[in-house]
A and B are shown apart, each in its own frame.
Chain A
Amino acid sequence: MALSDLFRRKKDDADPDAGAQPGVPALPTKALGRLLATLASREQPILIDLGPVVGSNVNFFGEQLGCKIFVEDVTKDIDRHVKEGKIDDLPAFFAQRFPQADNSVDGILCWDVFDFLDKKSAPSLAKQLTRILRPEGAMLAFFNASEPVAGAKPTYTRHIVVDRQNLQHRQYPAARGKQRPWLNRDIQRMFEPLRIAEQFLLKTNMREVLFRK
């Protein structure tokens, strides 16, 4: 056995869930705790995660809520449409994307997916989410409040849950950058008839919004 094998094994033994990593700064979140509190009283709630799959998040929500989680990675859909040059088809795609029945989902984790959608495709996705969300259900979404940096490499963010109050952000390449920030008024209209139950503007210029139906 070569010495390099030892190091390779050491690397393989690292946390396979790729969860929160020590040394990486944790960013505060206020809305996540509220979402958990909202869903905690429900028996085996159904949760949909629109971000990339994160093993440690699946465990976290499973432990905290005893929920059933559907992973519906919308960022992959966006990337595929961009790479195939079919971004104009995205609204029609979203209209058929979710097989869930009306009013069947207790919670939705949007993360910052809407930052990557334009004014045509975002309402189409929002319409589907409002359709599947159950009355008194809750949806967590993040919206960037500042203009995207010109010339920056487009990246998505994996939101790794550290605990109820903290997230780690891990970037990975995206086919499309963030679009222009959404105005509060547009957000409100786009998600009607959902109501904004809580809204927080963080120091990172991120708006955390908790919607209720």
Chain B
Amino acid sequence: MWKRDESVKPTSQPASPAAPVTPTPQASAPVAQPETRRMDRDMVHIGKSVIIKGELAGSEDLTIEGHVEGKIELKDHVLTIGPNGRIKAQVFAKAVIVLGEVNGNVSATEKVDIRDGGSVDGDIISPRVAIAEGAHFRGSVDMQRKAAAQSQPQKAQAAPAPADKAQPQPQPAAR
């Protein structure tokens, strides 16, 4: 019942040298000594004293409390911008949770969640968007639902389903 909040408590595991969050070598100075820590098996934390300029890509969930300028790409994972996080970058992730500040376009394949106190100045592309009442947002939101819904039947027409899986098509209701 009394579950420990593991998201803020580091595990006893040491930081893995093979952490996939990799600031690119061409990242321009000043790049502070990365204070990345493995919070648990699948989560990396970038502390608030860290400044990264360049591209940040990875294959595990990431929490940023520091400053990042450039591009962040976590295609199949969750990116959390903590309350101290300051991002000036294009962001691509499965899901993005914003409690800090983001200046740049945000693209998520699942959800963008701007929490109370979070701020986004930029355009959002995501099928699901949540914006809390105390959040700041300026930009556009493109949920692309119709496009996705329309593209699916077209695909189905282009590649007909096998006969054993074919379903009867619903007829339009008579008026």
Q: Which of A's residues lie within 8 Å of B, judged by CB?
A: 1, 16-18, 43-44, 53-55, 58-59, 62-63, 65-73, 158
Contact = CB atoms under 8 A, between A and B. Distances in A.
A65 B147 CA distance: 11
B130 A71 contact: no
Contacts of B147: 44, 66
A62 B145 contact: yes
Interface of B: 2, 113-116, 128-133, 135-147, 149
A18 B133 contact: yes
Nearest to A72: B138
Nearest to A69: B141
Contact of B132 (A1, A55, A66, A68): A55
B146 A44 contact: yes
A73 B143 contact: no
Contact of A16 (B132, B143, B144): B132
| A18, A53, A70, A72: residue with the most chain B Cβ atoms closer than 10 Å | A53
Contacts of B116: 16
B143 A54 contact: no
Contacts of A62: 129, 141, 143, 145
Contacts of B129: 55, 58-59, 62
A71 B141 contact: yes
A44 B2 CA distance: 47
Contacts of A58: 129, 131, 141, 143
A75 to B, nearest CB: 13
Contacts of A65: 146
Given A53-B137, A69-B140, A16 B130 contact: yes
B2 A68 contact: no
Contacts of B115: 16
Nearest to B135: A53
Contacts of B133: 18, 54-55, 158
A53 B149 CA distance: 26
Contacts of A16: 113, 115-116, 130, 132
Given A17-B132, A53-B135, A55-B130, 16 more contacts: A17-B130, A18-B133, A54-B133, A55-B135, A58-B131, A59-B129, A59-B143, A62-B143, A66-B143, A66-B144, A66-B146, A68-B140, A69-B142, A70-B140, A71-B140, A71-B141
A43 B2 CA distance: 50
A68 B142 contact: yes
A1 B4 CA distance: 9
